[in-house]
Amino acid sequence: MSTENVSGPTIVLGVIGSDCHAVGNAILYRVFSEAGFNVVNLGVMVSQDEYIDAAIETNAKAILVSSLYGQGELDCEGLRERCIERGIDDILLYVGGNLVIGKVDYAQTEAKFKKMGYDRVFTPESDLNEVIKLLYADIKERFGE
Amino acid sequence: MTAAYGKAYISDADFFAEREEVLKTWPTGSDVDLDEAVAYHRTISDDKKFTEALKKAAEEGRVLVQPRAGVALVDEHIELLQKLAAEADLLPTTIDAYTRLNHYEEAQKGIERSVAAGKSLLNGFPAVNHGVKECRRVVEAVSRPLQVRHGTPDARLLAEITLAAGFTSFEGGGISYNIPYAKKAPLELSVKTWQYVDRLCGYYESKGIRINREPFGPLTGSLVPPCVSTSVAILEGLLALEQGVRCVTVGYGQLGNLVQDVAAVISLRELCDEYFRKFGFENYQLTTVLHQWMGGFPEDEAKAFAVISWGGAIAALAKATKVIVKTPHEARGIPTAEANLQGIKATKQIVNMLAEQHLLREDSLQNEVELIKKEVRCILDRVFELGEGDFAKACVRAFASGVLDVPFAPSRFNKGKLMPVRDSSGAVRILDWAGTPATDEVREFHRRCVEERGVSEGRKPSYHMLIDDIYAVSKGRLVGCRR
Ligand code: B12
């Protein structure tokens, strides 16, 4: 687990399930750290409970879930319910990457993951500067910070 | 120094004792019958044997074309492979990510959910859950040689089941299927379980059944310098030969610079021969495979075809024995059969057009070959010193000390300190060698290459430059430009 001591909001980052894709994770860690977030990076192959443990421990405002390998549909289901069960009902859940198997229309994927309780859903090509702006705005709106 | 090496052959007693435990790790293991499997392999015709296809291609100087493919359910997988057989010379069965980590319960759920959804929700074929009989249905339904392709640190049961079913080639190795694919799997364990896999293939070989073994060359596919991937391929080749394997295909992932890529395949082939002989191995069958660009792809399909074709060109010009193809869907998701066929066809077109053409081994190519050879010899000298007569120990200690270090690997057993970056011509050089040994002359060469790029771009070579290189191909270039 790697963190840097910065004053910005704390977020938890990691690649879910049995997924080994490490390159995007390394870049996201850099980019969000440079943007002022206190990033708790769990790396690849993260279970739902590992995200939640880290979020509770560090009082994180958001969990950023990556899934690249296609089995995201199986791995991501139930994370919102599990967050509620463990008392962090209002944490922001972002998810991004190659979320489902195959080249599927993005709108379909977005709808599927929003229904699972994710606040925002991103394609691999998302502009990370835009994501950073959204995340600051969403945190402000939800937590008033 | 070489004398002590090559003697870690697993005895019959140890092999069969371990085997009993391996077969108990999932219920389908109990259906594996080695004698029956050997008898079955004797009935497989030559045109469905991997080793025969490779031998013939090598003799004729042809490049064989092979896709990646695998879905959750047997009938759908058969249908997919039958479609691909129309164009492909060799066929794969790509295994799903749960099976790769021995999470067979999760794979089972994935199978059930895929049945319910009417489409595959797994990113590959869960061969262990399907078991010998069902896997054999796949073998019998397709008309081409079949290989198991995966990314499994402990592939013992997977190998038992698929080889017993009649697969004739098995990809992977103790380093190449751990360091890029796992986080917590100890290297010592993966090397050891892969010695078992090699020993199993060696057992078939001892019964006259030749199984092709293919170390996974590209590793993380993310700017891995040729000297790193070549060193790993040689080590895994030696580990396989030590256990009685006699048919090895070593691989390399295209990086994008023509001269460097062709040189890398040439030096890979020549260095393997050099080291295999040095350690006393003879009478092996050695071939090469080129993987089309393994990093991030452009989303636009026309642009993806350009990347695919450039990879095909490298395979043809480097005279690789086979090429593993990407598809126009690469940036987005597991390809449909149709997209996969398009990748194969584009590749075949270019491979055939270049079949009669030869790159001259003029200075720039010859220099690059010599450079890679110098680098690899320097690394491996140190690795074999560390191993004190044992290949497995050599691998483990080399990673623990950072003598071998793979960029962007998720494994905790990899230092991740070596930093590559492209030079102005797009060749991958090393910005920070970290614990990897190199001669002063080699270091100076890399330093100059990188410095030159820095000057031409008016910036200092750094991690930012490397990140720009990571995105470059997906954004339509080879050398990353400042964002
Ligand atoms: C490199 C690579 C590999 C390497 C990975 C090395 C490593 N350990 O990192 C290797 C060769 C080992 C590999 C293996 C596999 N891979 Co792979 N791999 C790729 C490839 C070519 C590039 C990925 C990459 O590094 N991109 C560069 C980085 C910078 O981009 P990124 O990862 O997309 O991350 C960015 C964005 O997605 C986004 N993002 C990601 N997460 C999030 C989260 C949030 C909140 C936000 C806002 C944004 C965001 O920001 C990141 C930074 O820019 C992609 C295809 C492609 N993109 O071209 C396939 C791909 C991801 N792999 C794929 C698959 C299936 C696998 C395998 C399962 C093998 C298989 N069956 O084919 C195995 C994985 C086994 C496992 N246990 O996970 C598929 C996934 C298919 C799908 N979703 O339908 C892809 C899409 C290829 C394909 N079309 O088939 N792979």
ipTM of the assembly?
Answer: 0.96
pTM: 0.97
For residue A9, how far is its CA from the centre of ligand 1 (angstroms)?
Answer: 27
In this structure, the answer to whether residues B453 and B306 fall within a common structural domain is no
B67 within some domain: yes
Q: Which of B221, B134, B205 is nearest to B170 (CA)?
A: B205
A145 within some domain: no
Which of B332, B353, B374 is a domain's end point?
Answer: B353
Cross-chain Cβ contact B296/A22 below 8 Å: no
**C-alpha pair distances (Å), B101 with each of B156, B415, B416:** 12, 22, 22
For residue B146, how far is its CA from the centre of ligand 1 (angstroms)?
Answer: 25
Catalytic residue among B171, B214, B236, B375: B171
The CATH code of the domain that includes B477 is 3.90.970.10
Cross-chain Cβ contact B123/A98 below 8 Å: no
The CATH code of the domain that includes B333 is 3.20.20.240
Which of B353, B385, B405 is a domain's end point?
Answer: B353
A22, A45, A71: residue with CB nearest B408:
A22
The CATH code of the domain that includes A129 is 3.40.50.280
Active site residue B100: yes
Say how many CB pairs under 8 Å bridge A and B. 83
Question: What is the dihedral angle through the alpha carbons of B19, B20, B24, B27, rounded to the nearest 10 degrees?
Answer: 90
Cross-chain Cβ contact B222/A70 below 8 Å: no
In this structure, the answer to whether residues B249 and B340 fall within a common structural domain is yes
B386 within some domain: no
For residue B112, how far is its CA from the centre of ligand 1 (angstroms)?
Answer: 25
**C-alpha pair distances (Å), A54 with each of A11, A49, A144, B224, B367:** 9, 8, 22, 32, 51
Chain B residue numbers with beta carbons less than 8 Å from the beta carbon of A33 are none
Residue B223 near residue B420, CB atoms below 8 Å: yes
Q: Check residue A121 and give its pLDDT.
A: 98
B383 within some domain: no
Domain count, chain B: 2
In this structure, the answer to whether residues B434 and B338 fall within a common structural domain is no
User: Residue A4 pLDDT > 60, yes or no?
Assistant: no
Cross-chain Cβ contact B333/A71 below 8 Å: no
In this structure, the answer to whether residues B172 and B30 fall within a common structural domain is yes
Q: Check residue B416 and give its pLDDT.
A: 97
Measured CA angle at B220 (ends B219, B222), to 5 deg = 125
B240 within some domain: yes
* Collapsed DSSP state (helix, strand, coil) of residue B373: helix
DSSP letter for B46, please: G
In this structure, the answer to whether residues B27 and B110 fall within a common structural domain is yes
Which of B301, B331, B353 is a domain's end point?
Answer: B353
Handedness of CA B265, B271, B274, B280 (dihedral sign): negative
Residue A19, domain extent:
2-139
Segment B181-214, tens digit of pLDDT: 999 999 999 999 999 999 999 999 999 999 999 9
Segment B151-177, tens digit of pLDDT: 999 999 999 999 999 999 999 999 999
In this structure, the answer to whether residues B455 and B343 fall within a common structural domain is no
Show the low-confidence residues of chain B (pLDDT under 70): 1
Chain B residue numbers with beta carbons less than 8 Å from the beta carbon of A22 are 220, 408-410
A98 within some domain: yes
Chain A residue numbers with beta carbons less than 8 Å from the beta carbon of B97 are 17-20, 69, 71
Q: Which of B344, B352, B309, B341 is nearest to B325 (CA)?
A: B344
Segment B372-386, tens digit of pLDDT: 999 999 999 999 999
A61 within some domain: yes
In this structure, the answer to whether residues B345 and B435 fall within a common structural domain is no
Q: Which residues, 6+ apart, have CB-to-CB distance to A71 below 8 Å?
A: A17, A18, A19, A101, B96, B97, B98, B110, B121, B122, B123
User: Residue A6 pLDDT > 70, yes or no?
Assistant: no
How many Cα atoms occupy the beta-carbon half-sphere of B65 within 13 Å? 28
Active site residue A89: no
In this structure, the answer to whether residues B103 and B181 fall within a common structural domain is yes
B379 within some domain: no
Residue B471, domain extent:
417-483
Domain count, chain A: 1
